[in-house]
Amino acid sequence: MSVKVVKFGGSSLADANQIKKAAAIIRADESRKYAVVSAPGKRFSDDIKVTDMFYACYDAAKKGEDFSDIFAKIKERYNGIIKDLGLTLNLDREFAIIEGCLLGNAGRDYAASRGEYLNAVIIAEYLGFDFVDAADVVVFSESGEFMLDKTISLISQRLENSNCAVIPGFYGMREGGTIKTFSRGGSDVTGSLVARAVNAEIYENWTDVSGFLIADPRIVCNAEVIETITYTELRELAYMGAGVLHEDAIFPVRTAGIPINIRNTNEPEAKGTMIVAETDEESRNIITGIAGKKGFCAINIEKDMMNSEVGFGMKVLDVLREFNISFEHLPSGIDTMSIILSSSCIEGREEDILNRIRKAVNPDKLEIEHGLALLAVVGRGMRSTRGTAARTFAALAHARVNVKMIDQGSSELNIIIGVMEEDFEKATSAIYDCFVN
């Protein structure tokens, strides 16, 4: 029988009613044998995520402050879920262990992981599935480097003897015996690892939206859902801020050719978005998606005859390497070069960096321009369609948006556009209207 791995996010498991929806989805298809779960998320806009409450407990414990009130709210949250699910499960022992470890300064990652751990114990009990602790099967080196091959092997061995199981997402164990978490949203990665380990037919990622949207719904009202997207397109969009799926969740399943299906727990009848390695399906709107983010700056360098000075660019980039700074884009002209960077990575070091560049290449003019936003227009349909760039820039001109930077890769899969931060939303809407509306 084919196997499906399902992952449910925090909003899908925020309370007992949401957990019942998730359980109904799992039970509706007997091939959904392995479920990866997040910690309970927000039940309403002003609510607090359980993970954030655990972080607060850790911070208080580290300062030697009393965190009993916050911990009591965590216990109340889980005990309420247990009661509303009609279970007789008692977590008092687990609560006592966790509280003792927090008092013993077990670490920030340990605190963060307990939300997933407790939720998985409850959901496994409710479904009648085995509980498999991620700490037993997801492995990091002592230095914190994720160990893919060993993890896949351990998950495969453990689940070989389990017909159905619930695995907490987001964390694993260092070889030295301490808990280590992925970056925020890392339950997506755990789901992908489980799907790879059991050679799943599909990895279903259940969240609170009915698929991956062409543009940010906070900017474009009623943005259309992307029906099919390739891993490559998704990587481009995820890197530029599209946040439905953790970008590292792609790699474990990509090599195995396992598709990812983004689905909505609250609208299970919706098909969602299918993420695949390759597709012959035509993109309905030429572009697949638009994504971007603010918080960039440009180091602008001018020097006569720059293009004939051997090693000029290398000298500049060596300065960035000295400061451990990576760059986003490097547009250049005959006598000019601009380096696009995240503003946060040079904060407090601007003058030091500029002085080192002056010493390295003796520019005629050197400045930093702040307040930039980057926007990615991505789509496999752009390769075979003439005039995509022309339409894009015509739309921006019509919206009176000044373009500060243009960069297009050789794959012709995307166009990166730099605009001022105040024009970001206007630019996104203009491009969406041009290609979709």
Range of the domain at 371: 289-435
Question: What is the DSSP-derived secondary structure letter of residue 409?
Answer: -
The predicted pLDDT at position 53 comes to: 98
CA 120, CA 14: separation in Å to the nearest integer?
13
In a domain, 302, yes or no: yes
The predicted pLDDT at position 251 comes to: 86
Among residues 208, 236, 267, the one where a domain terminates is: 208
Beta-carbon contacts of residue 269 (< 8 Å; ≥ 6 apart) = none
CA 214, CA 220: separation in Å to the nearest integer?
9
CA 140, CA 145: separation in Å to the nearest integer?
5
In a domain, 270, yes or no: no
In a domain, 244, yes or no: no
The predicted pLDDT at position 192 comes to: 96
CATH of the domain at 70: 3.40.1160.10
327 and 429 share one domain = yes
CA 391, CA 371: separation in Å to the nearest integer?
25
pLDDT in tens, 20-71: 999 999 999 999 999 999 999 999 999 999 999 999 999 999 999 999 999 9
135 and 19 share one domain = yes
What are the distances in angstroms from CA 165 to CA 33, 37, 248, 313, 391?
Answer: 7, 11, 23, 53, 50
Domain count, the chain: 2
Tokens representing residue 192 in the block: 């992908």
At position 333, the amino acid (one-letter code) is G
204 and 66 share one domain = yes
In a domain, 219, yes or no: no
Pick out the chain residues at pLDDT < 50. none
40 and 182 share one domain = yes
The predicted pLDDT at position 250 comes to: 83
In a domain, 63, yes or no: yes
In a domain, 228, yes or no: no
CA 9, CA 187: separation in Å to the nearest integer?
8
